[in-house]
């Protein structure tokens, strides 16, 4: 697959093009998991965390650690990665088995997030920290600008609502899991005393819990 368009979007010409090829290689295309993009995903996650932490440290010199941590969590979340991957159009370049693609795998946002992290890992190995730093600076800066105040995770907000109303903390439980192992979908439920439970689906338990918490919060506010 020709990745020249993606190279132009990233603004980095790879000395070792195989790194980018590997970053876009889904596990469904190889019998060896170590030949897929999973190892680069692991590395890219750490690279993103370091660069975002430095950006926040420099951008908000007067904020305490707790506020920086809340910003950090939002910026390295799966939601943020999916958003950036969407802006780049990364799903077009992911190499996956035909059967998975035909089954809608290319629309799986978890794969987009994983590939985005893998690309950052590939950039780091090919060009040192400056290569992913340029990409992260270009694509994540608008996300930082959007939140004038530190964002609050829906699960944290729901917990604070329960505490303010002097009731037991929210209880989460898994309702169901579906889909193949490499692309599961979870349905999670959250309940607080005095309100009907809320349910939501997600590509991970954490994301489904967040969506359920937000849904319950919206209902409680109404």
Q: Has 117 been annotated as catalytic?
A: yes
What lies within 8 Å, CB to CB, of 4 at 6+ separation is none
108 is in an annotated binding site: no
189 is in an annotated binding site: no
Q: Which of 95, 100, 117, 126 is catalytic?
A: 117
41 is in an annotated binding site: yes
- Which own/partner contact pairs does 85-89 have at CB distance under 8 Å and 24+ positions apart? 85/109, 85/112, 85/113, 85/115, 85/116, 86/112, 87/139, 88/6, 88/9, 88/10, 88/116, 88/139, 89/9
Annotated binding site for Mg(2+): 41, 114, 117
Active site residues: 45, 117
Annotated binding site: 41, 114, 117
């Amino acid at each position: 697959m020709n990745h020249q368009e993606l190279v132009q979007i990233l603004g980095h010409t790879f000395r070792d093009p195989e790194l980018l090829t590997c970053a876009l290689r889904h596990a469904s295309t190889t019998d060896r998991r170590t030949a897929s993009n999973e190892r680069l995903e692991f590395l890219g996650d750490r690279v993103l965390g370091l660069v975002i932490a430095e950006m926040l440290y420099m951008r908000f010199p007067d904020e305490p650690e707790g506020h920086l941590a809340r910003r950090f969590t939002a910026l390295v979340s799966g939601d943020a990665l999916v958003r950036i991957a969407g802006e780049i159009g990364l799903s077009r370049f992911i190499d996956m088995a035909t059967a998975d693609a035909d089954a809608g795998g290319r629309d799986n946002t978890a794969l987009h997030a994983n590939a985005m992290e893998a690309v950052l890992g590939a950039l780091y190995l090919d060009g040192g920290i400056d290569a992913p730093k340029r990409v992260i600076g270009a694509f994540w800066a608008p996300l930082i600008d959007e939140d004038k105040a530190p964002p609050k995770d829906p699960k944290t907000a729901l917990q604070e609502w329960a505490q303010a109303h002097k009731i037991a903390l929210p209880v989460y439980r898994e309702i169901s899991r579906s889909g193949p192992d490499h692309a599961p979908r979870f349905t999670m439920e959250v309940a607080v005393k005095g309100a009907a439970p809320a349910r939501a689906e997600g590509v991970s338990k954490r994301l489904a819990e967040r969506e359920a918490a937000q849904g319950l919060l919206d209902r409680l506010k109404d």
